Structure 1
C-alpha cells in the first residue's frame, strides 16, 4: 500500500495527470471507471481563483465517485497561492497539488509553472506558504529542471520534502524540452532511491504500454506512475497496466463496442456538466482518439464532429458499432496524443 499522508492507495498506484482542457470531470469519470487510482483536476490559476474567474471556479467541481481526487493550482506569488489554497480547501478535495511543471511561455516566463525551476529558493518558499495555509496534504508535480544545464530535481525533492509535501510526481523532461525527445527517467530513479526521501515518488512521461510501465517500475523503483497523454482516448490503459502487473498477461484491445460505450459516456457526462452546446463542441476533439485504428472511419468521424444534438450523435455511434461488428483492432503500443499544455493565466 502507498500512502500520501492519510490517503491510502493500492500498491503501485496509477495516477491520471492533470491536463488542461482534458482532465475535466467527464474525462475523469471514464478514467476512474477504467482503473485510475488517483486523479487531478485541470490546472487552476491562483490569480483566477482569487478574482473569482468563472472558468477557474468551475474547475473546482469534484464528485464523490472520483475520490481520491486532488485539485491542482499554480502561481508565482506566495500570497496568491496561500489564498488560493484556502479557497480550494473549502471544496474538500482529498489533496492539493502545486504545478511546477507547465512549460508554456505565457506561464513559465511569468515565473509560474515550470518557470519556478529557475529559482529553487522561490519554489521552496511558495510550497512552504501553501503547506502552512491548508490542512490538506500538499503534493507537487514538476520536471527535471529548467534545461539540461540545471537538472536540479534531486535538490528540489529533498527541499520540498523538508517543507512538508507528502508526495512528488516528476515528469522526465526539462522545461525547454516541452514534450520533445524521450522522457529520461534516470533522475526520477535517483530521487526515489535517495535514502533521505521518505515520501512517495511518482514517475511521469512516455508510458505507452503495460510492458513499459512494468519495466520502468522495476528499473527505477518508483512508487507509482502518472499517466497523461496515453489516457486520452484510451482510458483502458489503467486496467491494462494493473492486469499486466498482477498476471504478466496482456489484455486484448477494447472492442469497438467498448470504445463506443466509453465515448458515449464521455459525451453524456460532458453535456451534463457543461451544457449541450459547450459539451457537444468540446467533445468533438475526442472522437478521433476513441476510434483510432478503425479503417475508413473518416465518414463517421466527420458526422460526429458536426452534428448538433446528443440524439444524432448517439445514432451515429450506434452505426459505428453495427458497421464494425466483430472487427478486431491489433494490439500495439498506445500512440501518445500530441498534447500541448495550454495552461490558463486568467
Structure 2
C-alpha cells in the first residue's frame, strides 16, 4: 500500500496525469471506471483563481465518485499560490498538487511550471506558500531539470520533501525536451534510491503499453506510475496494465461496442457538465482517439466532428453500431 497523507492507495498505483483540456470530470470518470487509482484536475492558474476567472473556477469541480482526486495549481507568485491553495481547500479535494513541470512557453514565461526549475529557492518558497494555505497533503509534479546540462531533480526532491511535500511525480524529461525525444527514468530511479527520500516517488513519461509498464515497474523500483497521453481516447489502459501485472497476459483490445459506449458516455457527461453546446464541441477532439485504427471510419468521424445536435450524434453512434457490428479488432 502507498500512502500520501491519509490517502491510502493500492500497491503500485496508476495515476492519471493532469492534462490541459483533457483531464476534466467526464474524462476522469471514464478513467476511474477503467482502473485509475488517483487522478488530478487540469492545471489551474493561481492568478486565475484569485481573479475569480470562470474557466479556472470551473476546473475546481470534483465529484465523490472520482475520489481520491487532487487539484493541481500553478503560478510564480507566493502570495497568489497561498491564496489559491485556500480557495482549493474549500472544495475539499483529497490533495493539492503543484505543477512545476509544464513546459509550455506562456506558463514558463510567467516564472511558473517548469520555469521554476531554474530557481530551486523560488520553487521551495512557492511550495511553502501552498503548504501554508492548505490543510490537505501537498504533492508536486515536475521534470528532471531545465535542460540536459542542468538536471537538478536530486536536489529538488530533497528540498521539497524537507519543506513537507508528501509525494513527488517526476516526468522523465527536461523542460528543453518538451514532449519529444527519449524519457530517461534512470534519474527517477536515483531519486527513489536516495536513502534520504521517504515520500512516494512516481514516474511519468512514455508509458503506452502494459508490457512497457511492467518493464519499467521491475526495472526502476518506483512507488507507482502516472499515465497521460496513452489514456486519451483509451481509458482501458489502466485495466490492461493491472491485468498484465497480475497475470502476465494481455487483455483483448476493447471491441467496437465498448468504444462506442465510452464515446457516448463521454459525450453525455461532457454535455451534463459543460452544457450541451460546449460539451459537443469539446468532445470533437476525442473521437479520433476512440476510433483510432478502425478501417473505413473516416466518413463517420467527419460526421461526429461536424454535427451540432446531440440527437443527431446519438443517431450516428447507432449507425456506427450497425455498420461495424461484425468488425473484429485485433
TM-score scaled to structure 1, two decimals?
Answer: 0.94
Q: Is the 8 A contact 1:71 1:95 kept in 2?
A: yes
Q: Is the 8 A contact 1:78 1:125 kept in 2?
A: yes
Alignment: residue pair count: 330
Shift of 1:111: 0.5
Q: Is the 8 A contact 1:293 1:329 kept in 2?
A: no
2:313 equivalent in structure 1? 313
Taking the aligned partners of 2:133 and 2:91, their CA distance within structure 1 comes to 15
Taking the aligned partners of 2:328 and 2:253, their CA distance within structure 1 comes to 8
Q: Is the 8 A contact 2:257 2:321 kept in 1?
A: yes
Is 1:47 matched with 2:47?
yes
Taking the aligned partners of 2:186 and 2:326, their CA distance within structure 1 comes to 43
Shift of 1:329: 2.0
1:48-74 deviation per Cα after TM superposition (whole angstroms, max 9, x unaligned): 000000000000000000100000000
What's the secondary structure of 1:175's corresponding residue? coil
1:235 equivalent in structure 2? 235
Taking the aligned partners of 1:326 and 1:29, their CA distance within structure 2 comes to 29
Q: Is the 8 A contact 1:14 1:225 kept in 2?
A: yes
1:281 equivalent in structure 2? 281
1:100-121 deviation per Cα after TM superposition (whole angstroms, max 9, x unaligned): 0110111112200000000011
Higher relative contact order (CA 8 A, sep 6+): 1
Q: Matches of residues 1-346 of structure 1 in structure 2 within 5 Å?
A: 1-330=1-330
1:72-117 deviation per Cα after TM superposition (whole angstroms, max 9, x unaligned): 0000011100000000000000000000011011111220000000
Taking the aligned partners of 2:319 and 2:287, their CA distance within structure 1 comes to 14
Greater fraction helix: 2
Shift of 1:328: 2.2
Taking only aligned residues, the RMSD between alpha carbons, in angstroms, comes to 0.7
1:192-212 deviation per Cα after TM superposition (whole angstroms, max 9, x unaligned): 111111010000000010010
What's the secondary structure of 1:49's corresponding residue? helix
1:104-147 deviation per Cα after TM superposition (whole angstroms, max 9, x unaligned): 11111220000000001110111111112211000000000000
What's the secondary structure of 1:99's corresponding residue? strand
Q: Is the 8 A contact 2:70 2:96 kept in 1?
A: yes
1:343 equivalent in structure 2? none
What's the secondary structure of 1:199's corresponding residue? coil
Q: What runs of 5+ residues in structure 2 fail to find an aligned partner?
A: none
Taking the aligned partners of 2:157 and 2:241, their CA distance within structure 1 comes to 27
What's the secondary structure of 1:149's corresponding residue? helix
